[in-house]
């Protein structure tokens, strides 16, 4: 996992080399085929992909602490290792805020990507990216996959055994 200063250096080097830098973000708590497809689609929109990864406290605030399942299930170091192992991911940088607005404003990606459950007017950082000549793209999700759905399946399997 890169620090923000390290990610800034990578961004500058890649830009100087004429490479298109894509940014997306998420919790990526339980990596599943939907995540892999989403990240591959995001990477296909450019030459390098930076993933903003919610830190553990941020995930807790966003996903809540269900009495049966406290999120995240995997700590940030483990989630980062999984993302970095994917060939389409070039850098992972964590953030502790509820949104990646500071990362986006600092890195100014050429392409900002979010999943199909968003609309262009609800994407954090879209205005900043567009003001600096970048673009915002929506990538459809692979139907039938979500971390929450996977957690429910695991709970159902555990309760029947």
Query: Other CB atoms closer than 10 Å to residue 74's CB: what's the count?
Result: 19
CA angle (143, 144, 150) in 5-degree steps: 140
Residue percentage of the chain with pLDDT more than 90 = 71
Quick check: 121 and 41 in contact, CB under 8 A? no
Going by pLDDT thresholds of 50, 70 and 90, the confidence category of residue 5 is: very high
Query: Other CB atoms closer than 10 Å to residue 133's CB: what's the count?
Result: 8
User: How far is it, in rounded angstroms, from Cα 153 to Cα 21?
Assistant: 36
Q: Is the per-residue pLDDT at 21 higher than 70?
A: yes
Going by pLDDT thresholds of 50, 70 and 90, the confidence category of residue 153 is: confident
Residue percentage of the chain with pLDDT more than 70 = 93
Nearest Cα to Cα of residue 140 among 69, 44, 27: 44
Average pLDDT over residues 141-149: 72
Domains by residue range for the chain, with CATH: 4-159 (3.40.50.620)
Q: Is the per-residue pLDDT at 65 higher than 70?
A: no
Nearest Cα to Cα of residue 107 among 47, 26, 39, 24: 24
Q: Is the per-residue pLDDT at 141 higher than 90?
A: no
Average pLDDT over residues 13-35: 95
Q: Is the per-residue pLDDT at 2 higher than 80?
A: yes
* The predicted structure's pLDDT at residue 66: 60
Kindly report the average pLDDT of the chain as a whole number. 91
pTM of the model: 0.91
């Amino acid at each position: 996992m890169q620090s923000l200063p390290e990610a800034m250096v990578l961004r500058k080097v890649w830009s100087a080399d004429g490479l298109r830098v894509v940014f997306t973000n998420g919790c990526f708590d339980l990596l599943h085929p939907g995540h892999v497809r989403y990240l591959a689609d995001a990477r296909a929109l450019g030459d390098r992909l930076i993933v903003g990864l919610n830190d553990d406290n941020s995930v807790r605030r966003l996903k809540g602490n269900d009495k049966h399942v406290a999120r995240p299930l995997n700590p940030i170091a483990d989630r980062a290792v999984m993302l970095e192992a994917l060939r389409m991911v070039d850098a992972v940088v964590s953030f502790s805020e509820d949104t990646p607005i500071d990362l986006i404003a600092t890195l100014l990606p050429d392409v900002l990507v979010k999943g199909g459950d968003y609309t262009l007017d609800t994407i954090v950082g879209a205005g900043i990216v567009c003001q600096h000549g970048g673009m915002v793209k929506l990538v459809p999700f692979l139907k039938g996959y979500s971390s929450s759905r996977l957690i429910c399946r695991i709970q159902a399997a555990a309760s029947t055994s």
